[in-house]
Amino acid sequence: MIEFVEVTKQYPGSKVPALNNVSLQIQRGEFVFLVGSSGAGKSTMLRLLFREYLPSSGNILFLGRDSAKMRPRELLKHRRRIGMVFQDFRLLKQKTVFENVAFALEVVGRSPQEIRLEVPIALAEVGLLDRAKAFPGELSGGEQQRVGIARAIVRKPTIILADEPTGNVDPENAWQLMELFTQINRTGTTVIIATHASDVVDRLRKRVIALEKGRIVRDEKRGVYGYES
């Protein structure tokens, strides 16, 4: 479903490329960990997948379609197939849990009826239905991230991209979050997670792509974190 062909990404003003000649394929329904130290190129890879950036050279194909050739409407469609989860949650503080999740549907023009129907389903899936009226500030980090996940899945995306989703969460909650991601993956959603959580990676034994200085140094079907942490 996703293919990187000799992708290099160089940010303006930096001498070393963030990604250097990376080629890989990810199939529909896969669960992938991107690991590597900070600055290895994990976030860049996610941003390229969201097509927030274009590669400096090489091609990224989604279902055979070159990301650089997407027209605005197509790009919007592409992004709407993706659910994003962030390390800092990116919830809107002045909106309730329900409203934050509903926002994902509002911005793509879904009807109020649909919103009333879909939001509780997503909240139930992450186990926060009873906190629907709370504001993000009243929730723990783990709970906030679960709202973030609910917001990402409420549109039933084909791909979930998560950048350090457990980075601001204590270990126990981190486990619960990863549990959630595997559950989501079981329904057929492709999940790609950039992470430093070595114990989680080691326990789950999913595909692990290790990056170092913008290159893939390891790509194992049932891999481990493989770094000192």
Partner 1 sequence: MRRNFWLAMVTASMIAVSIAIFGVFLLLSVNVGQVMQNIAGNVEIAVFLEDRADTNSVLSAIKGLSGVAEYTFVSREQGLLDFGQTLGEKDLFLVLAGENNPLPNMFRVRTLDATLVPAMADALRKVRGVEAVDYGEDLVAQLLNMTRWLNSMFLAISLFLGLGAMLLIVTIIRLSVMARQEEIGVMKYLGASNWYIRLPFILEGATMGLLGSLIATLSLGAVYFRLTSNLQNGVLPFLFRPVTEVAALWPIFAFLLLLGFFLGIIGSLLSVRKYLREVRRTA
Interface with partner 1 (CB under 8 A): 12, 50-56, 68, 72, 75-76, 79-80, 82, 84, 86, 90, 92, 103-104, 107-109, 151
Q: CB 106: neighbour CB atoms within 10 A?
A: 13
For residue 92, the minimal CB distance to partner 1 (Å) is: 6
For residue 6, the minimal CB distance to partner 1 (Å) is: 15
Q: CB 137: neighbour CB atoms within 10 A?
A: 9
Q: Which is nearer to partner 1, 63 or 68 (by Cβ)?
A: 68
Q: Which is nearer to partner 1, 32 or 84 (by Cβ)?
A: 84
DSSP string, 186-215: HTT-EEEEE---HHHHHHH--EEEEEETTE
Query: 133: burial class by Cβ within 10 Å (0-12, 13-18, 19+)?
Result: exposed
For residue 153, the minimal CB distance to partner 1 (Å) is: 12
Q: How far apart are CA 90 and CA 10, in angstroms?
A: 26
Strands 82-85 and 215-220: unpaired
Q: How far apart are CA 87 and CA 80, in angstroms?
A: 20
Question: Could you tell me which residues come within 8 angstroms of residue 175 by beta carbon, excluding any fewer than 6 positions away?
Answer: 200
Q: Which is nearer to partner 1, 19 or 200 (by Cβ)?
A: 19
For residue 156, the minimal CB distance to partner 1 (Å) is: 13
Q: Which is nearer to partner 1, 73 or 221 (by Cβ)?
A: 73
Q: Which is nearer to partner 1, 103 or 135 (by Cβ)?
A: 103
Q: Which is nearer to partner 1, 36 or 55 (by Cβ)?
A: 55
Q: How far apart are CA 202 and CA 55, in angstroms?
A: 31
Q: How far apart are CA 50 and CA 202, in angstroms?
A: 27
For residue 47, the minimal CB distance to partner 1 (Å) is: 9
For residue 185, the minimal CB distance to partner 1 (Å) is: 20
